[in-house]
Amino acid sequence: MVETTVHPLRQGLTALASRYEEILTHTKGLEVLDLSLPIAHLAAQLRANYNLRTPDAIQLATAIHGQATFFLTNDVDLTRVREIKVLTLNELLS
């Protein structure tokens, strides 16, 4: 939620941030998980293994813990993570 809503909130676009939250919390097939100790442990391991930034490690760990089918990103550097299938938007669109 942080990564998705920060830009509109910086721009003062609270309605857009709320719309993003609505999409993420009410779209069939998407689930928002709370940060838990097991997710934090997995995020730390991902950071150690791949030298990831903390937000990326938390998001990937959450997806892995939640047994997501894939992780969608614009960051091609994250495709090196092997614990989950990482797709870039370009791959998805092609």
Provide the greatest CA pair distance for the chain: 38
**pLDDT tens figures, 57-77:** 999 999 999 999 999 999 999
Residues 6+ apart with CB under 8 A from 40: 58, 61
Whole-angstrom distance, CA of residue 37 vs CA of residue 43: 10
Whole-angstrom distance, CA of residue 38 vs CA of residue 30: 20
| Structure confidence at residue 92 (pLDDT) | 81
**pLDDT tens figures, 13-44:** 999 999 999 999 999 988 999 999 999 999 99
Task: Please indicate whether residue 55 or residue 91 has the higher confidence score (pLDDT).
Answer: 55
Please list the residues that pair with 71 across neighbouring strands: 86
Domain definitions of the chain by residue range: 1-32, 33-94
Task: State whether residue 88 is helix, strand or coil.
Answer: strand
Instruction: Evaluate if residue 91 carries a pLDDT over 90.
Output: no
Instruction: Evaluate if residue 79 carries a pLDDT over 90.
Output: yes
Extract the tokens encoding 87. 């797709």
Instruction: Evaluate if residue 80 carries a pLDDT over 90.
Output: yes
| Structure confidence at residue 83 (pLDDT) | 98
